[in-house]
């Protein structure tokens, strides 16, 4: 039997509650709701933008859509550099499936030690880590087939260089972020790189895209760059240079080929070189573009310029007699010597025999100011105006500070410095009817116009002397080639070590042009520190010049101007240096 409860008999329930207490409780609850409503209004209306930004920071992401980098092409449209898809692998360490079999296979596919892979994944606090940048697409597909949770891929591109080491110093290379670091890749990085697009998305906490937000901006691919380089000429020049450096046990070498009509650089080769897309253990010796970055005293290759300025000034003619007896000349206590006593020579003979004494006596007929003006007009002491990084200016001291012995040594290539590129360009004044023309690394089919330095008559006279210097009795007989007349000047310079010159270290040069009556190309060759017994420019550098000239003119379709083979000379002629 249930007992009834008399609530009125309970002292607690029977007591009277003050009215203000219940009102107070209702007021507190009402204030709480009012505060929540005010906070909601603040968040939704007043500070809406701030909280939206905070939400976007946590969940919204702007994904970059990479642009495809433009191609680098040679003058005939052959590819020197191009981009190919190369996915990159990344991971969220805390989400990665640690299946040892799958991780071992992943390490094998990306050619990474398993220990290194595990080290990348060991920090589980990380929400992002690169596993491997820019892997080949077949590898990326096999990685995807493994289905490892937490391993993702990002679309990227990497560069390929079909011409490899032969054109490495021209095209340069990019880094893993696809930014140009050397060569044309660096010089035209903005044009080649294009403009990346973007995609605004919402991601969840695991980094997965949930939905797209806003309009997608497509990428603008980079534009192609068409160079003046002929890849066939470039490859041949590189191969001949490489053979010469190895055969002469030299330290390095360079070749420059310029079209004397347009100023286009057809080849710019250096050895040692490197593979632009495989740069492990790369050294500065391989990376340096010596034809543009290295300057040296050019030696006897400056003598035609000395003669040219004296002819232009009217101080001499090609048949002016220069007495070089007894093969030496003392100026303010310093003695200038020739390798032989050539006796009495014409100006043409001074170039043919490469007489230091003769060049000095010709220079003494001019003022330092006249010589300096001509050097400056030919680009010496000035940075070459070419769209290429690393080009240096060389050095020509102000004429007011020249001493008599310095004016003398400059006449035969000592006391000033220039790069091989500067030397080759300076010879355009002889090949282009007395005009020094601008050189370009970009394709340009139009005949170049330049600045007049010499008259056409002076240019023709110097070309004849260069032909004599490269012919029988000259110092550059090995420069002769089959089917084409050539002219050029060899040079052999002691290398400067500290404040003096090394007695057993040389640089061997040859700079010249062909065909000699209407030159189409100018070629410069430099071999650094030949040490196989021969070191004269006419012996070491001239044969490379000969082969490059013959092959280049044939590739260009230039008709031969000689019907007989060049004379085979058994005896070598030594040059003064």
Q: Catalytic: 411?
A: no
The closest alpha carbon to 279, from 185, 183, 164, 390, belongs to 164
> Rounded to the nearest 5 degrees, what angle is found at the Cα of 247, between the Cα atoms of 529 and 339?
50
The secondary structure element, H or E, covering residue 517 is none
Secondary structure (3-state) at 532: coil
- Please tell me the distance from the alpha carbon of residue 512 to that of residue 174, in angstroms, as a whole number: 35
**What is the C-alpha to C-alpha distance for residues 407 and 399, in angstroms, rounded to an integer?**
9
Beta bridge partners of 126: none
| Residues 438, 441, 444: CA angle, nearest 5 degrees | 70
What is the pairing mode between strands 521-528 and 79-85?
unpaired
Q: Is 190 helix (H, G, I), strand (E, B) or coil?
A: helix
CA distance 450 to 208: 61
User: Are the C-beta atoms of 397 and 279 separated by less than 8 Å?
Assistant: no
Quote the crossing angle between the two packed helices 303-312 and 368-377, to the nearest 10°.
Answer: 110
Give the residue from 91, 83, 61 showing the smallest Cα distance to 198: 61
Which stretch of DSSP H or E encloses residue 401? none
The one catalytic residue among 300, 355, 419, 546: 300
Q: What are phi and psi of 253, to 5 degrees?
A: -165, 165
Q: What CA–CA distance (Å, rounded) separates 458 from 252?
A: 35
Taking alpha carbons only, the member of 506, 532, 518 closest to residue 460 is 518
Q: DSSP label at 267?
A: E
Measured distance CA(314)–CA(397) in Å, rounded: 25
Residues annotated as catalytic (active site), given as ranges: 300
């Amino acid at each position: 039997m249930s007992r009834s409860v008399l609530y009125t008999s309970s002292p607690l329930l029977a007591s009277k509650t003050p009215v203000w207490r219940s009102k107070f409780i209702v007021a507190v609850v009402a204030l709480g709701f009012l505060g929540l409503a005010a906070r909601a209004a603040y968040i939704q209306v007043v500070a809406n933008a701030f909280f939206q930004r905070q939400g976007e920071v946590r969940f919204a992401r702007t994904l970059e859509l990479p642009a495809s980098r433009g191609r680098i092409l040679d003058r005939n449209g052959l590819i020197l550099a191009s981009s190919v898809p190369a996915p990159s692998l990344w991971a969220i360490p805390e989400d990665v499936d640690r299946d040892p079999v799958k991780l071992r296979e992943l390490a094998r596919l990306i050619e990474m030690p398993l220990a290194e892979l595990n080290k990348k994944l060991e920090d589980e606090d990380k929400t992002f880590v690169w596993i491997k940048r820019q892997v080949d697409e077949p590898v990326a597909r096999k990685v995807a087939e493994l289905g490892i949770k937490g391993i993702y891929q990002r679309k990227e591109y990497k560069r390929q260089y079909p011409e490899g080491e032969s054109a490495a110093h021209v095209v340069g290379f990019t880094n893993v972020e696809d930014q140009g670091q050397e060569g044309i890749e660096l010089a035209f990085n903005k044009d080649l790189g294009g403009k990346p697009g973007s995609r605004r998305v919402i991601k969840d906490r695991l980094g997965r895209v949930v939905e797209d937000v806003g309009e997608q901006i497509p990428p603008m691919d980079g534009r192609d760059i068409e160079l003046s380089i002929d890849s066939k000429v470039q490859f041949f020049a590189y191969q001949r240079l490489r053979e010469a450096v190895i055969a002469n046990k030299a330290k390095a070498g360079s070749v420059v080929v310029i079209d004397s009509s347009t100023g286009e650089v057809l080849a710019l080769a250096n050895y040692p070189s490197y593979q632009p897309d495989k740069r492990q253990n790369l050294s500065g010796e391989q990376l340096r573009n010596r034809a543009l970055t290295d300057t040296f005293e050019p030696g006897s290759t400056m003598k035609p310029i000395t003669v040219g300025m004296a002819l232009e000034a009217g101080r001499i003619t090609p048949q002016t007699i220069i007495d070089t007896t007894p093969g030496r000349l003392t100026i303010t206590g310093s003695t200038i010597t020739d390798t032989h006593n050539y006796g009495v020579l014409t100006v043409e003979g001074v170039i043919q025999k490469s007489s230091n004494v003769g060049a000095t006596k010709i220079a003494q007929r001019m003022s330092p100011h006249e010589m300096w003006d001509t050097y400056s007009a030919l680009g010496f002491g000035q940075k070459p105006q070419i769209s290429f990084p690393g080009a240096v200016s060389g050095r020509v001291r102000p004429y007011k500070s020249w001493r008599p012995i310095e004016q003398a040594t400059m006449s035969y290539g000592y006391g000033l410095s220039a790069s091989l590129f500067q030397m080759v360009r300076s010879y355009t004044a002889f090949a282009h009817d007395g005009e020094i023309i601008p050189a370009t690394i970009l394709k340009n089919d139009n005949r170049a116009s330049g600045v007049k330095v010499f008259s056409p008559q002076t240019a023709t006279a110097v070309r004849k002397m260069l032909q004599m210097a490269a012919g029988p009795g000259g110092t550059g007989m090995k420069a002769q080639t089959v089917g084409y007349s050539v002219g050029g000047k060899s040079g052999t310079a002691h290398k400067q070590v500290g404040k003096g010159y090394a007695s057993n270290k040389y640089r061997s040069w040859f700079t010249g042009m062909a065909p000699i009556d209407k030159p189409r190309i100018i070629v410069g060759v430099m071999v650094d520190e030949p040490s196989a017994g021969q070191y004269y420019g006419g012996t070491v550098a001239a044969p490379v010049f000969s082969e490059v000239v013959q092959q280049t003119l044939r590739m260009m379709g230039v008709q031969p101007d000689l019907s007989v083979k060049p004379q085979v000379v058994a005896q070598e002629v030594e040059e003064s240096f």
